Each structure stands twice: as C-alpha cells, then as structure tokens.
Amino acid sequence: MLLAMILAYFSGFLLSCPLCGSVLSVGWFPDLRFATRRSLNDACTDIGNQLGKVHGSIEDAKRKLSTKVTGVEEIIDRMADDAGKTQADIDAIQRQTELIGGDLKGFQLLIELFKTKLNEMEEKQKSTNHKVGGLCQFVECMENGTTPPQNIQA
C-alpha cells in the first residue's frame, strides 16, 4: 500500500484492487496502466540497483577527490616548509649583511684615521726635511768658514 500511495502522489489519480493486488493508474504515468506486485517489486529492485551503482560511483569519486585533496595538502605543507626555510635563510643573510655593513663602517673609520695620521706624518716629514736642510747648510758654512745666514737655526 505504501507503494500505491507513492504512485498516487506522482500520478495524481490511482485505482487499487486489494483482492487481486493490482494497481490501475491514470495521470502522469500513461505507460504505467496496469502494475502487479511483481512488476513493482522488479522496478523497485532495478531502482535500488541503479541507486547502488550511483552510490558506488559517488564513493569512487569521493575517494579520488580525497586522494587528490590529500596530495594537494601534502604539496601545500611542503611549500609551507620550503617558505619557512627560505625565510630563515633570508633572515640569516640579512643578519650577516648587517654585520658586514657594521664592519665596513669600522673599516671606513679606520681608513680615515690612517689618512689623517699619514697627512700628519707628511707634514712632520716636510718640517724635518726643511730642518735637516738648514742643518746641512749650517754644517757647510762651518766647513767653509763662512757665517751662516740668519734664517738658519741650529
């Protein structure tokens, strides 16, 4: 009777004979004029088999999609690990670059200091050369017996 009520819902009008177990329907299913319990049972079995196949196909598709999603998740995890390692490498390189920059500033200061000291030494060397030249003139004058000029200081 449940099947008869289902068919009544879809067909619009249904006649049933409880003694002979048959159903006569008129409405949306014009090809289904006379149905027996066996034919309805066979139809239900066929629909059940088809639904089983659909369910199996859905399960296969679900497994395949699950496998692909798992593969994509693994790829994303590897990419995240690689990104983390790359960021760590970048941070290390930045720290080393900062240290090198500090060393370069120190070298620049050292070079400026050497330049200043070298200039001081050149000035002292010029002064020393001038004074040694004056001494040489003084000694030469003393050897020749002449008086040294006034601008020569001993």
Say if residue 16's pLDDT is above 70: no
Residue 21 lies in a domain: no
Residue 25 lies in a domain: no
Q: Is the CA virtual torsion 77, 81, 86, 88 positive or negative?
A: positive
Give the type of residue at 64.
K
Q: Is the CA virtual torsion 49, 28, 10, 19 positive or negative?
A: negative
- What's the CA gap between 21 and 33, in Å, rounded? 14
Residue 71 lies in a domain: yes
Tens-place pLDDT, residues 90-116: 999 999 988 888 888 888 999 999 999
Give 7's pLDDT tier (boundaries 50, 70, 90): low
Q: Which two tokens stand for residue 111?
A: 């070079």
Number of domains composing the chain: 1
Residue 18 lies in a domain: no
Residue 7 lies in a domain: no
CA atoms within 13 A on the CB side of 154: 9
Domain extent at residue 54? 34-144
Residue 91 lies in a domain: yes
17, containing H or E segment: strand 12-17
Residue 151 lies in a domain: no
Residue 17 lies in a domain: no
- What's the CA gap between 52 and 100, in Å, rounded? 71
Tens-place pLDDT, residues 30-66: 455 566 788 888 888 999 999 999 999 999 999 999 9
Q: Which two tokens stand for residue 120?
A: 């001081």
